[in-house]
Amino acid sequence: MDTQILMQTSRAMVAHGKGLLAADESAGTCKKRFDSVKVECTEENRRVYREMLFTTPGLADYVSGVILFDETLRQSTKDGVNMGKYLEKIGILPGIKVDAGAQDMAMHPGEKVTEGLDKLAGRMQEYFKLGARFAKWRAVITIGEGIPTRACIEANAHALARYSAICQEASIVPIVEPEVLLDGTHSAERSEAVHEETLETLFHEMQQQGVSLEHVILKASMAVSGKDNPKQASVKEVAERTVRVLKRTVPAALPGVVFLSGGQTDENATAHLDAMNRMGGVPWPLTFSYSRALQAVALNTWRGSAGNVAAAQKAFLHRAHMNGLAAKGQWTPEVEKKAA
């Protein structure tokens, strides 16, 4: 465990006005997204699409790191440069998704636990050699009748803590992502309570496992209303509830907190992040680690056509720029329209 490398990486990940691009979709998730724009989900098409994103001129101004899928870390640009090495060359840190996905939890209908700890230490050593300097593990917490249970929260927190220790031993910064899903009819108040219990449990487990809190990044969801709840919390309410949860549960030692968009609209994800940064008074940088909220507009513009690449890159850079402003509390709907 090289604490110097861990410190440099974690600080660079949450550099002022920058955030992370989550481009770690599995082939299955990628297929769903490609199907929506009628593009065949082949290995080559995935490579071309991701190269288009990574080679966007000016991307390093707003993106500090990219979370990659295993396949992508081993692929190369059309010029034969390894994707991770290419990102490194333009000043963007390459990261890697390492979990094996959320599986149904035995004896707990409707709940999931994330797998992938077996042989993870060996994989981490290989990923470090391949250039990955941070990693990501996602857990899924569902709100519903009688759920989440303590068993589900504890099982996922324990796995996140063990994964974090394995990462740090390999000098790789762990991103811990306990996503509280927005599926359901629950209120923002219920979401806040579930977030609080989840994060409290997570950091307790991490201390039990000897994880260095100075070298771990939290990827958090926001305390939004369930998407099927007719009464949606305002941007201000979501920001207040989310920041309150973080202040109650997240140790000040953490280098930073990045947020997932979790199915929010592009502009909502930006507005919520901006509102939290305008509140101030927190010990960590608050920034983004978005997938759909950064990529959707680029994918819809590209649609598999080489002739659309420049327009897709422009649309993608616009979203990265808007979220870079939100990470500094400088985004407004007027700026959004003006810059479009």
Q: What is the pLDDT of residue 303?
A: 95
Q: What is the pLDDT of residue 263?
A: 84
Do 110 and 142 meet the contact criterion of CB atoms below 8 Å apart?
yes
Do 124 and 166 meet the contact criterion of CB atoms below 8 Å apart?
yes
Tokens coding 148: 């989440």
Is 337 tagged catalytic? Answer: no
Do 293 and 270 meet the contact criterion of CB atoms below 8 Å apart?
yes
| Confidence check: pLDDT of 296 > 80 | yes
Do 257 and 250 meet the contact criterion of CB atoms below 8 Å apart?
yes
Cα 7 to Cα 171, 202, 233, 257: the distances in Å are 10, 21, 37, 15
| Confidence check: pLDDT of 312 > 70 | yes
Give the pLDDT confidence of 155-206 residue by residue, as tens digits.
Answer: 999 999 999 999 999 999 999 999 999 999 999 999 999 999 999 999 999 9
Per the model's pLDDT, the better-predicted residue between 338 and 243 turns out to be 243
Q: What is the pLDDT of residue 337?
A: 86
Q: Which of 25, 51, 111, 177 is catalytic?
A: 177
Cα–Cα distance for residue pair 225/13, rounded to 1 Å: 29
Is 267 tagged catalytic? Answer: no
| Confidence check: pLDDT of 338 > 90 | no
Give the pLDDT confidence of 255-290 residue by residue, as tens digits.
Answer: 999 999 988 899 999 999 999 999 999 999 999 999
Q: Which of 97, 112, 136, 219 is catalytic?
A: 219
**Domains along the sequence of the chain with CATH:** 3-339 (3.20.20.70)
**What's the 3-state SS for 202-242?**
HHHHHHHCCCCHHHCEEEECCCCCCCCCCCCCCHHHHHHHH
Cα–Cα distance for residue pair 54/37, rounded to 1 Å: 20
| Residues with Cβ within 8 Å of residue 193, at least 6 apart in sequence | none
Q: What is the pLDDT of residue 126?
A: 97
Q: What is the pLDDT of residue 340?
A: 64
| Confidence check: pLDDT of 212 > 70 | yes
Do 74 and 126 meet the contact criterion of CB atoms below 8 Å apart?
no
What is the chain's mean pLDDT, rounded? Answer: 96
